[in-house]
Chain A
Amino acid sequence: MTFISPWLAVAGAAAMALPILIHLFLRRRQKPIEWAAMELLRRAVQQSQRARRVERWMLLVLRCLLLLLVGLAIARPATMSTIALNQPVVLGIVLDNGVASRAAASPATPGQSAFDAARGACVESIRALPGGSLVHVLTTSGTIEHTSEAVDPDRAVAILGTLAPTNEPSRVREAVDRADDALRRTTMPGRIVLASPFSRGAIDTEAQVLPATKATLEIRDVGSDDQGTAAIVSMVQRTLGPQSTGSVTVDVTVTRPSHEQARRSIPVTVTDVMTDRSTKADAVFVEGSQRAVATVTLVVDPSVTEHGWLASIPADRQPADDLRSATISTLSADPVLVLDRERLDVDEGSSAQWIERALEPIAGMGLAHRRMDPSEVRTGALKGSTAIIICRPELLDATSWAECTTACESGALLVVVPPTEDTFVEWQDPCAALLGPGVTIRREVMEHDPPRRLQPQQPASPITQLIASELTDLVAPVEVSRSVVIDGPSTTLSPILTMDDGSPLMVLSTRGRGVVVMLASAPVPSWSTLATKPIFVPLVQETIRQGEVLLDAGGSVMIGLGRLPEGTTELRPVRGSTTGEASLTVDPSGMIVGDEVQPGIMQAIQAQGASAESLRSPSLVALNVDPTACDPQRNDAARLTAWLNQTITTPAVEASTDTTARSSTRASVWLLLAAAVVILAETLLGRMFSVPEPSST
């Protein structure tokens, strides 16, 4: 058992001696009393003194217990272990490997991340286990369960050594629930150790209400400092390609891990850091949704290729619940071009019709689109189109393919859908050539009977990253009856969706500054049920949005605990004198454009009222910098760090609302109830043995 205020527990234990000392003190001070009726007294003493002595001791014990309980209650015990010390147990290790665990553990231990500290705490707990104990290893992010069944402590330590922090939020509740489920399956007594940097905001305020567990839950809070973490801004920089017409749509996507008791809308301000113009919009959460997008359409100077947009959310409107991700993405404001011929004789609807339907605005998230006949694709026809969906590749001639290739290499997204009608036109080869060298598309269409399903665990892809958490559920009902076979080296093709036999249903490749996405099965019912399932709308929209982000138009700099690309280095300017520890790791390909960008950032932040004066005492600002997107030659890391420390400071998230405090409060309440029961027992005992008022004989 641990206490939040251990010295109060000691005081409570010491207070136990108080009734005894009072008893002894009063006893010593008693003077002898002369008495005449000694014989009567002696007989009375013989009758009742013995029983009364027992009662008095009971009262003394109760009073001591009362003081002890009150002391313990005030001391706020954090956890109550009911397991005998030397009894083997099954230990459920829940290690927080969420994005926040990348943060440094504390200023005192530079170089050690919170994850390392949490892992160290877990190893320490494992080492302290009595002989014969077993361990389950779970993490809060990514793959949760790392052991299908309990393993011996050495094996568990080895597994812990292989784990690494992810770039996703923690799912602490789920992990603890799973640990509890695992422990329920064993007959041995169970205990759960949850090691997490709570104070860093890895677990949002609401999610910190941990589930009730059957097993004893011990919390190892490795976030030793009291700095709250808040991400308030997100930034993207793009180099507009030749396809751009100067109209850009900026989407600010706010995601949150929980939709319970969260704000319905988040005001977002998008600032063009080059022009310092700000535009405001609201990201509105649909009921039950964990993601909202604020879309702002901006007109930019097409002659200026370097642009930076900063999205910010006012600190006072940004509870920890909404911090999980505040990412920004840009799209060309040009409509998505759908290449297909208008047809009215298709019973089931054409691929283009299904796709266009999926592009229609739903819940505020829509994409403008226009239809173009493939025969119209001539030189210059695709200028200004950033996203092109080729639904009838068989109708493209060589010129059209060349134009598409040019557009792609210039920085456009091409989505290719196989033709649904039998054709003798050789569309496969130019399409394969578009996808990249070594790629082949078989001519014959594969019939699948029974229809193929998709793998439950889909590969990680930038296209599906925002729907990754729901992807398993989304792909489950999809059946594919017909498909084309796309082969190619893994260096060229990266799968987005795969079928259960491992063959790709959707692939991604890059060509020049553009991106090509190809579907192996057409989204029509005779080919697959893709278009009729819930996955289709988010898949199409995410393909366009994320595909455009992938265009070689620049990288992004994220400020805050957003979704970090792999290999991201975290800069963590912290309060006061620890500023010096912060360092900016940048990459020669750089994105932050030095002096031009920083004033824009400052003004954007100040526009949100988040100036140093308006905010409370400095707290943590986490700056996550993509090393592949920064140029050390052009960015003054020290200046940026110092500026962030001064300006982008947000009030600390209520880090004190940690689970430890909550559980200890619960324990304290129970102890106070026990004290009340003791008082009641003492009262009853006193009344039971009380002597009636003397009456005259």
Chain B
Amino acid sequence: MANQGLRAEQYLSPETLAQLAPFELRAKMVADGVMNGMHQSPLQGMAVEFAAHRQYSAGDSIRHLDWKVFGRSDKLYVKEYRQETNLDVMILVDGSASMSFGTLGVKQGWGGTDATRRRGAWTKFDHATASAAALAFLCLSQRDRVGVAVGADGLRGAVRKSATRDQWRSIVRCLSSEPVEARFSPAACINQLLAQTSHRTLFVILSDFLGDPEGLRTALARLRHRGHDAMLLAMLDRRELTLDLDVEAPFIGLEGEDALDVDTRTIRKAYLDELQRHLQGIDRQARAFGYDLQVFDTHESVGPVLAALLSRREGMVAGGRR
């Protein structure tokens, strides 16, 4: 079998894992996981961690009255506790043709697949799968349930959420695919995933988001409607980010677009403006639904950017507790 030789190191270089280790992966939203874990549960009740005092109101159970406070101040306060649960994470990787773009030569220890080595370039898909594997590994190490899906115009492969020992291998096998000749449809993929999701889940979408922003907006709206959290990780090659080419040549689209004669020296500024505008539009959409967007430069290591993202989310969650 082609995937028999897969090893975790292919996706998670020791360097990457070392960079991620100090951080805990916490969902911003309170997950209603079924297992005890490190994530906050939206259900207040018996738990180990005190949350806050609240004035007693009619109907509250008197079992949670803080009698010590009543004795000191002659006022009725109810003690509230925060219950921690496991996090459900579903990672969706864009497997469309545009993700096969890459201009960076493969480096030792960066992971990747046989296809990566065969192509001789580190593609956006490589970067997305590496990032997805890192996230999945973190979740599994926290005993969170994590699932992975690779999609384009629909889901091309998926692993259901689980926190079992074999889950990691399943995830790796699922990620070790290649982009297909199709365009990415976030809405279609999310629809398919929502059909299999019953608990509140953190959806992590890894894509270049170069497609129609309207489709993405529809997908995010559905996620919001179902009360899920989401993180958008935009994978873009450095050449896409800078257009550091001095050529006048025909450009051919990877997803079947018509060829276009371009002099990069003449349009660079306009292109960079367009890219900036496009990313800002996606970021605006994500923020409108309360989600995050993080741009990944595929020429940079996965770890630092992922660590920065997780650090930011941890800070947001900690702020939310206070």
Q: Which residues B10-68 have CB closer than 8 A to chain A? A: none
Do the beta carbons of B252 and A696 come within 8 Å of each other?
no
**Of listed A31, A38, A52, residue having the most chain B CB within 10 A:** A38
Give the Cβ gap from B127 to chain A, nearest Cβ, in Å: 13
Q: Which residues A46-81 have CB closer than 8 A to chain B? A: 47-49, 52-53, 55-56
Q: Which residues of A contact B279 (CB under 8 A)?
A: 697
Task: Kindly state whether residue A691 has any CB partner on chain B within 8 Å.
Answer: yes
- B237: nearest residue on chain A (CB-CB)? A36
Do the beta carbons of A35 and B251 come within 8 Å of each other?
yes
A47/B297 contact (C-beta < 8 A), A41-B260, A56-B263 known: no
Do the beta carbons of A36 and B208 come within 8 Å of each other?
yes
Give the Cβ gap from B66 to chain A, nearest Cβ, in Å: 52
Do the beta carbons of A696 and B242 come within 8 Å of each other?
yes
Q: Which residues of A contact B267 (CB under 8 A)?
A: 41, 44-45, 47-49, 52
Task: Kindly state whether residue B262 has any CB partner on chain A within 8 Å.
Answer: yes
Q: Which residues of A contact B275 (CB under 8 A)?
A: 37, 40, 697
Q: How far is the CA of A696 from the CA of B99 in the complex (A)?
A: 19
Give the Cβ gap from A486 to chain B, nearest Cβ, in Å: 95
Task: Kindly state whether residue A34 has any CB partner on chain B within 8 Å.
Answer: yes
A696/B238 contact (C-beta < 8 A), A36-B254, A38-B257, A40-B210 known: yes
Task: Kindly state whether residue A32 has any CB partner on chain B within 8 Å.
Answer: yes
Task: Kindly state whether residue A39 has any CB partner on chain B within 8 Å.
Answer: yes
Contact of B259 among A32, A48, A56 (CB under 8 A): A32
Do the beta carbons of A47 and B270 come within 8 Å of each other?
yes
Do the beta carbons of B266 and A35 come within 8 Å of each other?
no
A49/B271 contact (C-beta < 8 A), A30-B248, A37-B210 known: no
Q: Which residues B198-233 have CB closer than 8 A to chain A? A: 208, 210
Task: Kindly state whether residue A687 has any CB partner on chain B within 8 Å.
Answer: no
Do the beta carbons of A41 and B271 come within 8 Å of each other?
yes
Task: Kindly state whether residue B274 has any CB partner on chain A within 8 Å.
Answer: yes
**Of listed B250, B263, B271, B279, residue having the most chain A CB within 10 A:** B271
Q: Which residues A661-697 have CB closer than 8 A to chain B? A: 689, 691-692, 694-697
Q: How far is the CA of A42 from the CA of B267 in the complex (A)?
A: 10
Task: Kindly state whether residue A33 has any CB partner on chain B within 8 Å.
Answer: yes
A49/B210 contact (C-beta < 8 A), A36-B240, A43-B274, A696-B238 known: no
Total A-B pairs, Cβ < 8 A: 119
Q: Which residues of B contact A53 (CB under 8 A)?
A: 266
Interface size on B, residues (CB 8 A): 45
Q: Which residues of A contact B259 (CB under 8 A)?
A: 32
Do the beta carbons of A35 and B208 come within 8 Å of each other?
no
Do the beta carbons of B263 and A41 come within 8 Å of each other?
no
Give the Cβ gap from A29 to chain B, nearest Cβ, in Å: 9
Do the beta carbons of A48 and B270 come within 8 Å of each other?
yes
Give the Cβ gap from A92 to chain B, nearest Cβ, in Å: 54
Q: Which residues of A contact B254 (CB under 8 A)?
A: 34-36, 38
Do the beta carbons of B251 and A49 come within 8 Å of each other?
no
- A39: nearest residue on chain B (CB-CB)? B210
Task: Kindly state whether residue B316 has any CB partner on chain A within 8 Å.
Answer: no
Give the Cβ gap from B277 to chain A, nearest Cβ, in Å: 9
Q: How far is the CA of A608 from the CA of B206 in the complex (A)?
A: 103
Do the beta carbons of A36 and B124 come within 8 Å of each other?
yes
A40/B257 contact (C-beta < 8 A), A32-B250, A32-B252, A34-B101 known: no
A32/B241 contact (C-beta < 8 A), A40-B274, A49-B267 known: no
What 1/0 mask marks residues of chain A from 300 to 338 whose CB sits below 8 Å from any chain B CB?
000000000000000000000000000000000000000
A36/B210 contact (C-beta < 8 A), A30-B247, A697-B275 known: yes
A31/B249 contact (C-beta < 8 A), A38-B260, A44-B271 known: yes
Q: Which residues A501-560 have CB closer than 8 A to chain B? A: none
Task: Kindly state whether residue A343 has any CB partner on chain B within 8 Å.
Answer: no
Q: Which residues A1-46 have CB closer than 8 A to chain B? A: 26-27, 30-45
Q: Which residues of B contact A52 (CB under 8 A)?
A: 263, 266-267
Contact of B268 among A55, A694, A696 (CB under 8 A): A694
Task: Kindly state whether residue B295 has any CB partner on chain A within 8 Å.
Answer: yes
Do the beta carbons of A33 and B250 come within 8 Å of each other?
yes
Q: How far is the CA of A31 from the CA of B250 in the complex (A)?
A: 7
Give the Cβ gap from B59 to chain A, nearest Cβ, in Å: 53
Do the beta carbons of A45 and B262 come within 8 Å of each other?
yes
Q: Which residues B257-287 have CB closer than 8 A to chain A? A: 257, 259-260, 262-263, 265-276, 278-279
A32/B249 contact (C-beta < 8 A), A696-B242, A697-B295 known: yes
Contact of A32 among B240, B245, B251 (CB under 8 A): B251
- A46: nearest residue on chain B (CB-CB)? B270
Do the beta carbons of B98 and A36 come within 8 Å of each other?
yes
Contact of A35 among B124, B252, B269, B274 (CB under 8 A): B252
Q: Which residues of B contact A56 (CB under 8 A)?
A: 263, 266
Do the beta carbons of A27 and B269 come within 8 Å of each other?
no
Q: Which residues of B contact A45 (CB under 8 A)?
A: 260, 262, 267, 270
Q: Which residues of B contact A692 (CB under 8 A)?
A: 269
A695/B242 contact (C-beta < 8 A), A40-B274, A49-B267 known: yes
Q: How far is the CA of A35 from the CA of B237 in the complex (A)?
A: 10
Q: Which residues of A contact B237 (CB under 8 A)?
A: 36
Do the beta carbons of B266 and A48 come within 8 Å of each other?
yes
Q: A30-B250, A45-B267, A691-B266 are in contact. List 17 more A-B contacts (CB 8 A).
A: A31-B249, A34-B253, A34-B254, A36-B208, A36-B237, A36-B255, A37-B275, A41-B271, A44-B270, A45-B262, A48-B266, A48-B267, A49-B267, A694-B241, A694-B243, A696-B241, A697-B275
Closest 9 CB pairs of A and B: A52-B266, A694-B242, A30-B249, A44-B271, A44-B270, A38-B253, A36-B101, A36-B98, A48-B270
Q: Which residues of chain A have a CB within 8 Å of any CB of chain B?
A: 26-27, 30-45, 47-49, 52-53, 55-56, 689, 691-692, 694-697
Q: List 7 A-B contacts (CB under 8 A).
A: A33-B252, A36-B98, A37-B210, A37-B240, A47-B274, A696-B241, A697-B295
